[in-house]
Amino acid sequence: MHESKRNKALYIVYITALYVFFYLPIVVTMIFSFNSSKSLTNMTGFSLRWYERLISDGSIMRAVYVSLTIALFATFISTILGTVTAIGLSRNKKIVRDIILNLNNFPIMNPDIVTAIGLMILFSSVMFAKGYVTMLLAHVAFCTPYVITSVYPKVRQLDPSIADAAMDLGATPVQALLRVIIPMLKDGIYAGILLSFTMSFDDFVISYFVTGNGVENISIVVYNMTKRTNPTINALSTIVILVIILLIIISRLIPAMVKNTMKYILMTGFVLVIGLSIFTGMKGNKKTLRIFNSGEYMDPELITKFEEEYKCNIIYETFDSNESMYTKLMSGSEYDILIISDYMIERLIKEKRLQPVNWDNITHKDDIDPENMGYIFDKDNTYSVPYFVGTVGILYNKNVVDEKDIAEGWELLRNKKYAGDIYMYDSERDSFMVALKALGYSMNTTNKKEIDEAYEWLIDQKKNMDIVYAGDDVMDNMIAGNKSIAVVYSGDGNYIMAENDELGYFDPPEGTNEWCDCMVLTKECTDTDFAESFMDYMLDYDNVYQNSLFVGYTTPVTKVKQDMKENEYKDLNAYDPVFGAPNNEVFRYQDKEIKEYYSDLWTKIKAY
């Protein structure tokens, strides 16, 4: 008896721990959606600011609309296709059934990325403009197999002669299908509906590669928002969670509603068709500008303001890295303006994918700091207009790190006094930059002997220093004081220092990565004068000030940089690091061989 009670108690503890593991992160997300600050670990007070921003952010609301309509349409279409296919299979020979069922398993078992690339190549090869329709077709393609898998076992359970019996009693084939067969398959159909809607609403990878023309679903927007700390994600997640809970409660309290599921989907689909026609309809003779930028790298209010001022439409899309931007560009996606980093600009110039900027149309040219012009990737700024600039440096806790140790520069990251107290930036090029600069080499070296030495430097650091490689989560961790030293971009360091005054920042004297992100014109841009108007607009004092406050990075516009240093970012040296230092460099484009060499060594470092 005692043994039984003990087992029961252990079972309860196990189940409780399991539910805590699954649901505690959700509860934390909901709690911090009401936090008054950006912090994801430190509750500073109750506020609805993130819900207000969510509602006012047009890009997020459009993404919600796209996610819901795509999920509903894809569910509706795939349910019909999957159900009809499952019923048809039951009437075919065994060899045909086996072949089709095996083919049906491929999309289910295939990795999403393979399916995504395949669909992207398909749409590009047939010159199908990517956007809402391509995303919908892709979702139908990967949802239909799940419906077939759900419905077919129910079809196999039916008496094969039941349809014939219905027709013997006077029913037409269509009536036999709709009034006899379908009702008997309802459990499988409902399972297929739920699976399809969930898969579609949740999809990111396939959607990311098959969309274009500014059409983004929630998953894409949220993924791009994670580039910076953005509690708006918490607010959005909380609303989604509450809607799901409400739907579950309704379905339990009013089970009769479930019987009318198909009818509601039909009605909703009809209404959404009208909404879709408005959403994707003709936009008159307004000019359209297509912009591709990194996520969370422009204040959306500036886009709205430009549209109103110039009576135009802006198709604004975001990416998570320069590499994913390049993949989309190579897939056939077309844009007018790209906002990308130095080494990628150099690559696109070499591949002749950019066109020169007419600086006569850039009336604010003289407002740009000369130190942020003329970088080696585009010495005469023929193709590039500076957007944001910065360096990679070391952020440290002034109460923990000895000021004398700062003189060690990058070697501070191998000082055993701080073992277990360091974040390295989880970036192949920046990590090798740290090691190469510490060794006195160029961060753009192609000398394999020097690269091997840098590899040994990083392996030694990982072995002896118990470091943690972190991404953008380093921001919140350093604000919370989880570690005392971190390698960060100066813009992130600026934001972190504004939240935690115990931190300092410095660029090591051995030199560092001095980066510059720029606006460039693609070869596909036809109205260059209009595109250059936008570039000039983004260099206007008021707009630069607003944008720099939103993003937090250093602007190349001299007057704004000075004013922000004296006001919002007073005493924060990370906002205006030393540009043009003798040992600073910008990243250069790597050819395939040397890039693969670095990548192989980086894989070994991460796996060590």
DSSP notation for 75-102: HHHHHHHHHHHHHHHTTS-HHHHHHHHH
Higher per-residue confidence, 123 vs 442? 442
Count Cβ atoms below 10 Å from residue 260 Cβ, excluding itself: 11
Average pLDDT over residues 34-38: 80
Whether residue 228 is predicted with pLDDT greater than 50 in this model: the reply is yes
Q: Taking a C-beta distance cutoff of 8 angstroms, is the pair 508, 415 a contact? A: no
Spatial separation of the C-alpha atoms in residues 521 and 530, rounded to whole Å: 11
Q: Work out the angle between the directed axes of helices 428-438 and 592-607 (0-180°, nearest 10).
A: 90
What percent of the chain stands above pLDDT 70? 92
Average pLDDT over residues 520-542: 96
Average pLDDT over residues 421-431: 93
Q: What is the pLDDT of residue 468?
A: 93
Least reliable range by pLDDT among 25-39, 79-93, 217-231, 359-373: 217-231
Spatial separation of the C-alpha atoms in residues 497 and 220, rounded to whole Å: 29
Whether residue 274 is predicted with pLDDT greater than 80 in this model: the reply is no
Average pLDDT over residues 339-362: 96
Residue type, 555: T
In this structure, the strands spanning 514-522 and 354-355 are antiparallel
Least reliable range by pLDDT among 85-99, 203-217, 315-329, 490-504: 85-99
Whether residue 540 is predicted with pLDDT greater than 60 in this model: the reply is yes
Q: What is the pLDDT of residue 608?
A: 84
Query: Across-strand partners of 315?
Result: 290
Spatial separation of the C-alpha atoms in residues 177 and 182, rounded to whole Å: 6
Whether residue 501 is predicted with pLDDT greater than 90 in this model: the reply is no
Average pLDDT over residues 375-386: 96
Whether residue 176 is predicted with pLDDT greater than 80 in this model: the reply is no
Tokens standing for 512?
């560092």
Three-point CA angle 91, 97, 98, nearest 5°: 160
Spatial separation of the C-alpha atoms in residues 67 and 310, rounded to whole Å: 29
Average pLDDT over residues 330-340: 90
Tokens standing for 495?
């934001």
Q: What is the pLDDT of residue 20?
A: 87
Spatial separation of the C-alpha atoms in residues 122 and 126, rounded to whole Å: 6
pLDDT band at 279 (very low <50, low <70, confident <90, very high): very low
Count Cβ atoms below 10 Å from residue 87 Cβ, excluding itself: 19
Average pLDDT over residues 440-444: 96
Tokens standing for 148?
């077939």
To which residue do tokens 């073992």 refer? 419
Q: What is the pLDDT of residue 579?
A: 85
Q: Which of 553, 558, 585, 545 is nearest to 572 (CA)?
A: 553
Out of 88-97, 223-232, 289-298, the most confident range is: 289-298
Q: What is the pLDDT of residue 268?
A: 54
To which residue do tokens 């759900």 refer? 150
Q: What is the pLDDT of residue 453?
A: 97
Q: What is the pLDDT of residue 277?
A: 46
Q: What is the pLDDT of residue 354?
A: 97
Number of H helices, E strands in the chain: 27, 10
Average pLDDT over residues 553-572: 90
HEC string of 354-409 equals: EECCCHHHCCCHHHECHHHCCCHHHCCCCCEEEEEEEEEEEEEECCCCCHHHHCCH
Average pLDDT over residues 290-294: 93
Whether residue 48 is predicted with pLDDT greater than 70 in this model: the reply is yes
582 DSSP assignment: T
Contacts of 50 (CB under 8 A, 6+ apart): 33, 34, 35, 231, 232, 234, 235
Least reliable range by pLDDT among 145-154, 488-497, 564-573: 564-573
Higher per-residue confidence, 91 vs 2? 91
Three-point CA angle 235, 280, 127, nearest 5°: 110
Whether residue 565 is predicted with pLDDT greater than 50 in this model: the reply is yes
What percent of the chain is helix, strand and coil (3-state, nearest 5)?
Answer: 60, 10, 30
